[in-house]
Chains A and B, each alone.
Chain A
Amino acid sequence: MSQPRTLFEKIWSDHIVHKDEASGTCLLYIDRHLVHEVTSPQAFEGLRLAGRKVRKPEATLAVADHNVPTSDRSLGIKQEDSRIQVETLGKNCEEFGIQYFGLNDKRQGIVHIIGPEQGMTQPGMTIVCGDSHTSTHGAFGALAFGIGTSEVEHVLATQTIIQKPANNMRITIKGKTGPGVTAKDIVLSIIGEIGTAGGTGYVIEYAGEAIQDLTMEGRMTVCNMTIEGGARAGLIAPDQTTFDYLKGRPMAPKGENWDKAVEYWSSLPSDDGARYDKEIVIEAKDIVPNVTWGTSPENVVPITGNVPDPANAKDASQRASMERALEYMGLTAGMRMQDVDIDKVFIGSCTNGRIEDMRAVAAIAKGNKVAENVYAMIVPGSGLVKEQAEEEGLDKIFIEAGFDWREPGCSMCLAMNADRLEPGERCASTSNRNFEGRQGRGGRTHLMSPAMAAAAAIKGKLADVRDFQD
């Protein structure tokens, strides 16, 4: 009898090209590589300088997302360096024979939205991208992680990566979640519990009824923010929900290959008795709608809670960090979260820019109005999400309620394009990072679910989505 193995161990061992027995370092085969404009130009330049080719252009897909305008695109990109970066990606893809979804292609969108949407992301694969939120693809039971530009170059040239196996952590969410609680609240609770470095050195497998009950969109939200807990990759065992999502997508297997693939995918879930280096169990009923109060994604508090007091910090460096965060955020300890006024709302990103997120916002927005002093933007994750939302008439609900309905891209999640906060502005955001300056210098970010962000837009302050639901 072979030893019971985890999902991670199965994928890992199926991709070892070479193993250095002395150090345990492996050369790991990479099945799919996603490329975007910001972290790739130096990699392509490196290939050119060394006279190297892309080993497997057909395993590679490129799109511009970080720098693209989310307003009218017929005018092109105004910012010169952004335009050059996007044009450079197009030229590199042409030169090296890589498929590229251009700005006016309706399949264009955030790299972690379009991979799954096209059926490129499949169970059991290894997937990399020069972006830390590559962990998103783990929702399909694929081992997916972010890499730096030097590694992008390495993968382009060799279709492999040099790595040591990670440790296994399993986080089980037991039971069913309560009303108003979404995938975002689950993952914020997890990060609040383990901290931003809690997953360092691990791959996290999410399990339990509350995870299995999630749609693929919800699973992607959870895996997406795995990196915010310090783990490079998150995993969820593939099941019927996964197969149903994939079937019929442009890049998914077809015909006889589909059956073969499903047979293989069905063998991937962790075996009973598989060993984890660390196990965490969270009761789903303990998870409530969450928001962040500070400048680290671990600064999580229930929407019904108050701003924490640095006096209760566990040590001096944590206290210093909390004090700095409170000053930056313009908050005082003990303040009720629901009393915090906001200026802007950002709905979108690779965390929450999918169709289900759009529907959640529409459900709250319908028949309501965005508060007078709030500017609220909705940025769909891809051209196809936009098209679908419009087919369902969601755009009309958004516009009627006073939301700005925009073109797809990363937008104000990282504010590389023109969408950003001004100093001191406070934003209810569905993105993934609340770091200092993340959404614009001096900008103040509160992370939350799309429904909570919509509720905040309407109230003009942080709000409990459950007050909007019957």
Chain B
Amino acid sequence: MQAFTTLSAIAAPLPMINVDTDMIIPKQFLRTIKRTGLGVNLFDEMRYDEQGNEKPDFVLNKPEYRNAEILVAGENFGCGSSREHAPWAILDFGLRCVIAPSYADIFYNNCFKNGILPVQLPQEQVDRIMEYAQTTPESKVHIDLEYQIVKLDNNESFSFEIDPFRKHCLINGLDDIGLTLEKDKSIQSFEDDRAQNQPWL
């Protein structure tokens, strides 16, 4: 997994609440057996018309936001299905960070497995960053995960909370499975106890 430490990038504003994973990546793109290549279909139905042409008014189609690496969105971002294709599509497009007031649990969790930082900030602070991204698209948003800070070009800054274990894994790009396998003895003894006490399992 790619580590996440700092990021200075254009932020694309998507002022919508309840952006669901069907919007992020519609089901017809879930037939893949790979993790890559989904970026072109990120937000497919909002981004393209029925003939497959770009809709010019969609934020990621606007020239000033095409190279965005940060997405700013409304509450309950990523609700719906557990499809990890949603963060895969976000990452494949080139976005490394989402800023929103709240997230759906499964999506939030999936981000960390893919080197994406989901920053959670109070509504009024997200509103401020949203406005900044809308009014000064050329300005960058700066994220520092170590110090848990989002900073704007005008030096306004916002600090965010994050679970220390997730932060540690993200900063170091750690593979969860490798970490867990180090506890193999504990798993084995748990299984042995179980076989003894709950033989029907």
* B-binding residues in A (CB < 8 A): 17-18, 20, 22-23, 25, 27, 29, 31, 38-39, 41-42, 45, 50, 52, 55, 66-67, 79, 81-82, 84-85, 88, 122, 125, 130-132, 134, 146-151, 153-154, 157-160, 162, 164, 196-197, 200-201, 227, 230-232, 253, 257-258, 260-261, 264, 296, 317-318, 320-321, 324, 414-416, 423, 433, 435-438, 441-442
User: A17, A85, A150, A158: which has the most chain B beta carbons within 10 Å?
Assistant: A150
Inter-chain contacts of A317 with B (CB < 8 A): 15-17, 74-75
Inter-chain contacts of B83 with A (CB < 8 A): 38-39, 148
Q: A42, A79, A154, A296: which contacts B176 (Cβ < 8 A)? A: A154
Asked if A437 meets B187 with Cβ closer than 8 Å, knowing A148-B106, A158-B180, A230-B105, the reply is: no
B109: min CB distance to chain A, Å: 7
Asked if A150 meets B114 with Cβ closer than 8 Å, knowing A130-B82, A436-B22, A441-B45, the reply is: yes
Inter-chain contacts of B30 with A (CB < 8 A): 38, 66, 416
Contact of B200 with A257 in the complex, beta carbons under 8 Å: yes
Partner-binding segment picked from B3-11, B31-39, B89-97: B31-39
B59 close to chain A: CB less than 8 A: no
Residue interface mask B19-45, A partner, CB < 8 A = 1:
010110011101111110000000001
Interface residues on chain B, number (Cβ under 8 Å)? 55
16 pairs across A/B with beta carbons < 8 Å? A27-B187, A41-B33, A42-B35, A79-B31, A130-B82, A132-B82, A146-B81, A146-B82, A146-B106, A148-B83, A196-B76, A197-B102, A260-B198, A321-B18, A441-B26, A441-B45
Asked if A435 meets B82 with Cβ closer than 8 Å, knowing A17-B190, A18-B183, the reply is: no
Give CA–CA (A125, B30) in the complex, Å.
Answer: 29
Inter-chain contacts of B23 with A (CB < 8 A): 435-437
B160-194 interface with A by 8 A CB criterion:
163-165, 176-177, 179-181, 183, 186-187, 190-191, 194
Residue interface mask B103-123, A partner, CB < 8 A = 1:
111100110011000000000
Contact of B165 with A132 in the complex, beta carbons under 8 Å: no
Give CA–CA (A67, B201) in the complex, Å.
Answer: 31
Give CA–CA (A52, B181) in the complex, Å.
Answer: 10
B50 close to chain A: CB less than 8 A: yes
Contact of B22 with A433 in the complex, beta carbons under 8 Å: yes
**4 closest Cβ contacts across the A-B interface?**
A253-B200, A150-B113, A148-B84, A41-B33
Contact of A154 with B177 in the complex, beta carbons under 8 Å: yes
- Nearest chain-A residue to B87 (Cβ)? A148
Known: A25-B163, A148-B113, A435-B80. 20 other contacts (CB 8 A): A29-B191, A39-B84, A42-B33, A45-B33, A50-B177, A81-B32, A85-B32, A157-B177, A158-B181, A162-B165, A196-B18, A197-B18, A200-B105, A260-B198, A264-B198, A317-B15, A317-B75, A414-B81, A416-B30, A433-B22
Give CA–CA (A257, B34) in the complex, Å.
Answer: 42
Give CA–CA (A415, B30) in the complex, Å.
Answer: 11
B63 close to chain A: CB less than 8 A: no
Contact of B82 with A131 in the complex, beta carbons under 8 Å: yes
A280: min CB distance to chain B, Å: 18
Q: B76, B80, B199: which contacts A200 (Cβ < 8 A)? A: B76
Inter-chain contacts of A260 with B (CB < 8 A): 198-200
Give CA–CA (A148, B163) in the complex, Å.
Answer: 19
